[in-house]
Chain A
């Protein structure tokens, strides 16, 4: 009990004495905890909106494609990000089925055991949609003006199809930047947009995987259009027939089916597809597959957040380790006093650990709260679904994972210094002897051949190699994040501008927003870390720099030397971070054809990082050399 009271008092007093350091530690761990919380609570967040959309649209449990056109597949499974045009889906396999065959296939499906309702088959017309300077492939379903029993798209704006008018899927219209009243051309014919609608029968733009595969070149029989993703729309049956005839080629149809046991949709689709492999056979897609495609917007977001949480966690370890190293040095005398009055090394270790663990738990709590709040701001399922996601739920396992991350960060950075401090001899600790600088023989020899600022910088690095390693690690983590963002942005640009369509991708846009936020947090934390490390170096090197000035080094040389001491470790950090970031992007992307960003982007990011680090160091360095050498030497003597 007495020990607990002692620990509590010491922790409380130390926190009061050094609030800025405690705040920085809290901030670093909170950022990682909040990001992890967001990633965890977003799990399954789109289930609710998909169910709501399915209910509102009388959504099918199975969607069959008939007519022997290209088989469909879905962009679900988190593989959307990074898939370049043409790389996704099974690609078009053209088969010809006669109208009689289609009718027979539809009849067989409608009468399949377990099917309770159906709508269709509806003719699908492939078309080139043009608006402004955009040209994009679109799949248009021919629909009756009366509501369908299964899959009646929910009109969110405007009205349902009418002759000479087109209804566009809402997320597609959003990417096109068109609304009700705008006019588009379909295979050269002008159509006013009469409505916007959502459906549960297919994944929304840009993951529509219908005829012609998910993305890429779409055979339209009137020519090929390169585009990222197909759009979906609805026209009257007469207009669909007209457009299909203009496109040429064999007709294709969709048939929507309701099952008595919707949960069996996946099993039924798989069994049916396995049993009907011959060319021209229908293929089936279950509602679960479609829901997976709908969730891409959020699952990709989750993936980004998860990677971000790891990066922030690693950065937090580096930040906390620098802070803890500095604080342990300041607490040497306290360690000596505790041991002198009989505290065991174990108790001393607990005292030293307790503070950071307490801060870690507080940071985890803050991270959970912030993460929950932030998640509710970014859980929109997108324009492809109606309804809203339910409030993100905090489960026990989520809380345990977040607290676990926070404690791991604190322990990873604190355990070794705490044990080392506890093992220090009592006499030495009581004398509060400053930690002797290390002697990096090789670096000292090399530095003798360098200009004065670099000489001073390299020698400062050699004095505190652990700090240099942590600085390098911090830079490497930050540059990893920046490089990954650049690679992702490059991919987004390629998809936006590398094709004729030039359309935005809501999934990539959402991911880019997430990445931007994570990168800003990462860079801000790294900047704080760099400034703090620089300040720690300035304080630690007060005597050395004052002496160097007494021997004739100018303030500019010393200031530049202090900046160089931060830039030297940052250099390997940058060199490691760039391939790590690109590698991380490629690994997370899972796409072998994804490319690295242009070299000049990387070079600019690397150079910018080094300049920022040098700049951040300049301020503490200038403050540090304000004192005259006489004053500084007097204090240190």
Chain B
């Protein structure tokens, strides 16, 4: 798939388990899309405000904040999303106020299983519409979602379908159906799955792909393997290093040799997992290098976004 094709979608979900680097990939994708001329917004869902940390900004909160040229971010808040949705559904305004301000309604909304997820994905969908709910809100070319980590399963991607099936008639069914149709349409919505080149994350990535196909009839557009160690030392070099370890050098030298062997071992283990993933997927995943930097900064994200751009 060329960069143009995935960036021609309107919505991209970046998925994966905790700790694999979803935010990193979402930010790098966002930078690449913005560079390609797309007015792009990256959505966070879990109050983590990681995007703002990346760009060294104060928390973006529930407002569409510009972080770089053509690149925006928002942290989606379920309560605010609910309020926004209701105010657009229930007219006239006093009736809406009656509903929203009622504490039993608040209780009801908070207690209903999946309601938070539904209004969250509702807001994501709204951001991806060319005709925005508020007349003053400018449309985006592309919405990138830093999806919340899920234990098993598909998380918020499944929510609209669940509500559509539970509510056989009525506005919630209509709304849920509209959202579900949008996110299951491969022309409009893409899924990028992030994994690490390690045993468990690779299994999870394969499980996710399967669940997405079985439960929603959707495919994964791209698998990104994050933090791949470089292969710095060839096998013959490694042998030379191993021999050198035996000749008693200074502690500094020994540390250097051990670090080289560690690097080689890790790179090999990771390659084996990458190969396994490639076989099972039937195609090569995109890889991003492990960056030997204490903390990733904006420069690192730009590096990674260029890598992604080249690979997509």
A binds B: no
